[in-house]
Amino acid sequence: MPQGIQIGPVFVYFYGILITTGVITAAILSYRLAPRFGQDPERVWDMVVWLLVGGIVGARLWHVFTPMPSNIAEGLTTSYYLTHPLALINLRNGGLGIPGAVIGGGLVLWWYTRRKKLPFSTWADIIAPGLALAQAIGRWGNYFNQELYGRPSDLPWAITIDPERRLPGYAAISSYHPLFLYEFIWNLMSMGILLWLGSRYQTRLKSGDIFLSYLVFYAVGRFLLEFLRLDASQIAGINANQTFMAIVAILSAGVLVYRHRKVNPSFRAGERARKEQAER
């Protein structure tokens, strides 16, 4: 399967085209959503480059510190990357990790909003649906690269992996679960739900709720899909991504529940009475 197209002396990878397309569509969606949250949409074009850089750096570092078994077998270990700076920045050698991209982008967003005196949680809500859309589009890059596929499968929608792209021990098996397609569908569904929540419950949501919901949806979907992954990153024999996603889903859901907990009216009255007494 071709991985890109030759344009003169330059070979352009489909993966890069899809990542760029995902970023642009995410920015357009965020641009359209910003006025609903009372924010200037032009800010999107100012921050998108910063977010892209932060996301790529975070994604690369996640891959470096949580290499997959197949990478380790090729000698692409964490220590190798840290002692070979050129390999560290060579994105064609190894890959990118989405959890790191979200973390890196989130840190840059926090820095940017703090610097520009903008509400961080509001902008996180604005960006969340577009982030899910960008992830959905970007996953098709895994299809063209024939990477991150799932366990062997004979289902009608199973994909065929070329012999040279198969993992050790699976040379005789040609068809596998299309994990990229599963995550593509899950992320599109997440985007739709986030947009619906923002529209349907706009007056009841608190700032940051949409982003927290994104974290729950993505983490749950990724946690489940990790059961089908063959080449999962391991730390001390534990699936690193799956464990991290479980923690993110539980914490994010917990924060959402806590923020919207119902407080007993008598408790509220007691709190007001104590406050008034303390002020006397």
pLDDT digits (tens, 9 = 90+) for 237-255: 889 899 999 999 999 999 9
Instruction: Count CB atoms within 10 A of the CB of residue 196.
Output: 11
The SS3 of residue 123 is helix
- DSSP assignments along 159-206, one per residue: EE--GGGSPTT-TT--EE--HHHHHHHHHHHHHHHHHHHHHHTTTTPP
pLDDT digits (tens, 9 = 90+) for 34-76: 999 999 999 999 999 999 999 999 999 998 898 888 888 888 8
Angle at the Cα of 217 from the Cα atoms of 156 and 202, rounded to 5 degrees: 130
Q: Is the pLDDT of residue 271 over 60?
A: no
How many whole angstroms separate alpha carbon 226 and alpha carbon 233? 10
Arithmetic mean of pLDDT, 148-168 = 91
Continuous segment of H or E residues that includes residue 248: helix 240-259
Q: Is the pLDDT of residue 28 over 90?
A: yes
Provide the mean pLDDT of the chain.
Answer: 88
- CA pseudo-torsion sign 123, 128, 133, 139: positive
Nearest-CA neighbor of 222 among 153, 123, 148? Answer: 148
Contact yes or no for 66/245 (Cβ under 8 A):
no
Q: Retrieve residue 59's tokens.
A: 């994604």
Nearest-CA neighbor of 125 among 11, 8, 7, 212? Answer: 212
Predicted local confidence at residue 135, as pLDDT: 94
How many whole angstroms separate alpha carbon 71 and alpha carbon 77? 7
How many whole angstroms separate alpha carbon 218 and alpha carbon 248? 9
Q: Is the pLDDT of residue 267 over 80?
A: no
Rounded to two decimals, what is the model's pTM? 0.87
Extents of the domains making up the chain: 4-279
- The residue ranking higher by pLDDT, 135 or 70, is 135
